[in-house]
């Protein structure tokens, strides 16, 4: 994989040149559907084209994601059939909504292509404010695919189906339609979501040489170490995503908002339940999953981490927050604890969160 080195001995921020926005996985499907509509039915050529698309690395990677996240094992032939015949679907999710809204999806895809350079610059600018620098960056691939409605909107994987250890971002354009009523509204929200996911992907690369992250790269983290990782990884990603959205001034306020208070109360409840060692294994897994997955405001680890990032930046400045992120989850929590001690309105953290 190509690397772009910085000046010897120096780190450099993530730039637009490090991001590859590839809309072709979606446009290939749209072209096939357009051809099918024009001819009035599927034929041998469309079947062959569907198989070719299913064999591409983005859709192979989508199959990996479905297996990991939904425990749904699909074959290349099943994906090809879902592309050729949208009403057949995969993993119990039909592709009919995407087919019916193909015109709207095509409009978003065209907007992404037209604004590719500006969009990459916007994403890199938003992310590099907080992401640690690196001496070299591997290219981060952003693949825009067409999947089932309500399956997922965006996801960052540690690697593609090729197993090359380079993070890849999947964006499901079918779900991007839910971001707004027009292409303009959808593109505006998409920019925030892309910055969110690019932070995850960039952090995977930037953290590799950082000693404060050494204990957090093991997939088998302890329960409280997992929550600490979620609070900084998902928390900062959510902060980058939401800090500039309309209405953010009602979230990030001097006096803690109801969202902030609720997130920290849920975090405290989760820590208390995990402290009780007699809990059933299934219950403990569910508690941990809710740290970073589920309805937005119920993700207690991600949302409390988002507000912790805000509090650190508000009290100490952006450079301090970026330094804390570079130093790792332990320092992130310690720094928030120190900030909270100076403001009695802020929520305290449970002792179990500190190693």
pLDDT at 92: 67
Q: What does the pLDDT average to over 246-272?
A: 95
Q: What does the pLDDT average to over 26-34?
A: 95
| Distance set, CA 79 to CA 163, 164, 301 (Å) | 20, 23, 34
Mean pLDDT of the chain: 92
pLDDT at 5: 38
pLDDT at 3: 40
The partner residues of 4 in beta bridges, in order of sequence, read 137
End-to-end CA distance of the chain: 36
Confidence grade of residue 43 (pLDDT, cut at 50, 70, 90) = low
Q: Domain residue spans in the chain? A: 3-206, 211-353
Q: In this structure, are residues 353 and 228 in contact, taking their beta carbons and an 8 Å threshold?
A: yes
Is the pLDDT at 299 greater than 70? The verdict is: yes
Contact partners, residue 292, CB within 8 Å, separation at least 6: 230, 233, 234, 299, 301, 302
Confidence grade of residue 90 (pLDDT, cut at 50, 70, 90) = confident
pLDDT at 40: 45
pLDDT at 278: 76
pLDDT at 281: 87
Confidence grade of residue 218 (pLDDT, cut at 50, 70, 90) = confident
Structure-token pair, residue 341: 């001690």
Pick the closest to residue 312 from 291, 330, 337 (CA basis).
337
Is the pLDDT at 171 greater than 70? The verdict is: yes
pLDDT at 157: 95
Structure-token pair, residue 170: 């999947």
Q: According to the 3-state scheme, what is the secondary structure of the chain?
A: CCEEECCCCCCECCCHHHEEEECHHHHHHHHHHHHHHHHCCCCHHHHHHHHHHHHCHHHHHHHHHHHHHHCCCCCHHHHHHHHHCCCCCECCECCHHHHHCHHHHHHHHHHHHHCHHHHHHHHHHHHHCCCCCECEEECEEEEEECCCCCCCCEEEECCCCCCCCCCEEEEEHHHHHHHCCCHHHHHHHHHHHHHHHHHHHHHHHHCCCCHHHHHHCCCCCCHHHHHHHHHHHHHHHHHHHHCCCCCHHHCCCCCCCHHHHHHHHHHHHHHHHHHCCCCCHHHHHHHHHHHHCCCHHHCHHHHHHHHHHHHHHHHHCHHHHHHHHHHCHHHHHHHHHHHHHCCCCCCCCCHHHCC
Is the pLDDT at 222 greater than 60? The verdict is: yes
Question: Which has the minimum average pLDDT: 2-16, 165-179, 235-249, 284-298?
Answer: 2-16
- List pLDDT tens digits, range 305-319: 999 999 999 999 999
Q: What does the pLDDT average to over 139-148?
A: 95
Question: Which has the minimum average pLDDT: 37-41, 70-74, 102-106, 169-173?
Answer: 37-41
Q: What does the pLDDT average to over 185-212?
A: 97
Q: What does the pLDDT average to over 151-170?
A: 92
Q: What does the pLDDT average to over 272-284?
A: 87
pLDDT at 35: 82
Q: What does the pLDDT average to over 257-263?
A: 96
């Amino acid at each position: 994989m190509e690397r772009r080195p910085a000046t010897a001995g120096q780190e450099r921020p993530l730039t637009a040149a490090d991001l590859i926005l590839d809309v072709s996985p979606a446009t290939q499907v749209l072209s096939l559907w357009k051809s099918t509509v024009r001819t009035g039915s599927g034929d041998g050529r469309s079947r062959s084209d569907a198989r070719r698309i299913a064999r591409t690395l983005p859709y192979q990677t989508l199959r990996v994601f479905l297996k990991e996240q939904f425990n749904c094992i699909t074959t290349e032939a099943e994906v090809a059939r879902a592309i050729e015949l949208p009403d057949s679907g995969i993993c119990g999710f039909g592709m009919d909504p995407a087919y019916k809204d193909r015109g709207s999806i095509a409009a978003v895809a065209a907007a992404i292509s037209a604004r590719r350079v500006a969009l990459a610059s916007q994403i890199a600018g938003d992310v590099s404010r907080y992401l640690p620098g690196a001496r070299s960056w591997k290219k981060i691939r952003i693949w825009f695919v067409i999947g089932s409605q309500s399956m997922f909107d965006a996801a960052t994987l540690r690697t593609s189906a090729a197993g090359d250890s380079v993070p890849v971002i999947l964006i499901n354009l079918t779900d991007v339609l839910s971001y707004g009523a027009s292409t303009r509204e959808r593109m505006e929200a998409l920019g925030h979501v892309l910055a969110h996911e690019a932070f995850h992907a960039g952090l995977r690369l930037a953290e590799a040489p950082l000693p404060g992250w050494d204990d957090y790269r093991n997939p088998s983290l302890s329960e409280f170490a997992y929550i600490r990782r979620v609070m900084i990884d998902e928390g900062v990603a959510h902060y980058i995503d939401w800090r500039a959205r309309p209405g953010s001034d009602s979230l990030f306020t001097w006096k803690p908002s109801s969202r902030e208070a609720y997130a920290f109360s849920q975090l405290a409840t989760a820590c208390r339940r995990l402290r009780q060692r007699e809990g059933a294994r299934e219950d403990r897994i569910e508690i941990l999953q809710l740290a970073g997955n589920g309805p937005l405001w119920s993700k207690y680890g991600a949302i409390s981490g988002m507000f912790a990032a805000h509090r650190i930046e508000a009290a100490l400045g952006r450079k301090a927050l970026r330094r804390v992120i570079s130093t790792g989850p332990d320092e992130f929590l310690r720094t928030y604890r120190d900030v909270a001690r100076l403001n009695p309105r802020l929520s305290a953290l449970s002792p179990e969160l500190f190693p």
